[in-house]
Amino acid sequence: MGWGLPPKSFRPAKHAPGLQRQFRQKTDVDRLHQSSDGPRLLGHAKFMTQSFALGRATLTEQQAIIAEHVLDQLVQGVAASALIDVRAPIEWQRASIPQFINLPILEDRERHLVGIAFKEQGQSAAINLAQELTAPHQQRRIAAWRDLARTSSSGDAIVMCWRGGLRSLVACQRLAEVGVKTRQLRGGYKALRQVLLEHLSDPPPCLVLTGLTGAGKTALIHELNRLPGAGMRTRWALDLEEAAAHRGSAFGGDEAHPQPAQASFENMLALQVAEARRTTTTMLVEDESRMIGRLTLPSVVLKGIATSPVVILDEGLDVRSHNLFDEYLRAPLAAGIALKDLHAKAQKALASIRSRLDREAPVIQGLMDKAFANGSEAEAHQLWIEALLVHYYDKRYRHGIARYPREVVFQGDRAACRAWLADYLQHQAFHG
């Protein structure tokens, strides 16, 4: 016997109070919700079969957990419960929550076909088709939920769907029948998204780590986030590039690890803010522009970066070119990426900024091609990397600094900045 849910009309999610002005750009998921295909793809497939019919008593007795308590688990870094998102992959790809694992109750094609059946033939035909499509897969999907729950430290599961409705309730019931304790996320993804956005809309005061490209700002952020704190999980600094899966420059993309959807990026940032709020009264953040790859920084974060005091990480050209050689070549080669593929990626990135380099572009191109033709020797590659820094990145950085002047509270090399920031952040630790 398959499973299904009665079709329901779709109403787009709204941001948390106060965020309408701050999030002016629609995310991918918002566009889908408001498109003509939104109800068919995201609404019509919320169905249950008659064999899973639920009475009022079942709904009221089902154990639930509120979004704020789920967030309490998320900020610990590893939730005690297995976190299961039973929405369809198309929903997951457009808006996910960190640490939740997508194990859908219905695959995209199943939801799509049932939606068409409902639209063209009515509810009865849709239910019959749902039973037919899902029957061969029901036990396998229940087993996948059960196996994931058993890997958690508590042996139980928190189950989430779009609005905390029938999909997650059905999953909870099926898991209970195979001996797994479950809790349904009340309000589903929408409720947890709202709680996260409330954190993102009101972050702690910021201190900005800035410096020329290649100075090692991201590496220092990672090191500082390993400083001990009062809780099990500490977050002294936002890691924007980690959340965006991008290094924030023309050469910063990684095709093997594509960027998340805009809504997922915002959710990751919001979780980082929630972690930081429980660690420190002042949050460190790396200096970034509005766009990180194809993702847009939320305006509240961008405003914090543009108006907060700064610490300048000051390193010479040789150190910076060496750092970028490690990032552009040494690390990817060690990961098994072929030299010719790295060359093609570098050529593509250079082509994307050629118009801003003017007469220097052919020079850098020549140095790059010569270096790659001779292998992975550091000295040769640092020549084109240094030219790229001097004629492109450094000019853009100095233009930005001049355009948005901010108070400088400290300036030094990596060792000096690390020592100063470690002492400063420890004094900002949140103790209550």
Catalytic residues: 161
Residue-wise burial string across 184-216, b where 16 or more C-beta atoms lie within 10 A, e elsewhere: bbbbbbbbbbbbbbbbbbebbebbbbbbbbbbb
Looking from the CA of 63 toward its CB, the CA atoms found within 13 Å total: 12
Phi–psi pair at 406, nearest 5 degrees: -135, 160
- Which residues neighbour 385 within 8 Å (Cβ) at sequence distance 6 or greater? 214, 321, 324, 325, 328
Phi–psi pair at 386, nearest 5 degrees: -65, -40
Strands (E), 231-372: 237-238, 283-286, 291-292, 295-296, 310-313
| CA distance linking residue 360 with residue 91, whole number of Å | 45
- Which residues neighbour 368 within 8 Å (Cβ) at sequence distance 6 or greater? 343, 346, 347, 350, 384
Residue-wise burial string across 70-103, b where 16 or more C-beta atoms lie within 10 A, e elsewhere: bbebbbeeebebbbbbbbbebbbbbbbbbbbbeb
Query: What proportions of the chain, in percent to the nearest 5, are helix, strand and coil?
Result: 55, 10, 35
Instruction: Classify 154 as helix, strand or coil.
Output: coil
Phi–psi pair at 195, nearest 5 degrees: -65, -40
Phi–psi pair at 56, nearest 5 degrees: -60, -35
Tell me the sheet residues that pair with 123: none
Residue 221 burial (10 A CB sphere; 0-12, 13-18, 19+):
buried
| CA distance linking residue 237 with residue 275, whole number of Å | 9
Tell me the sheet residues that pair with 82: 157
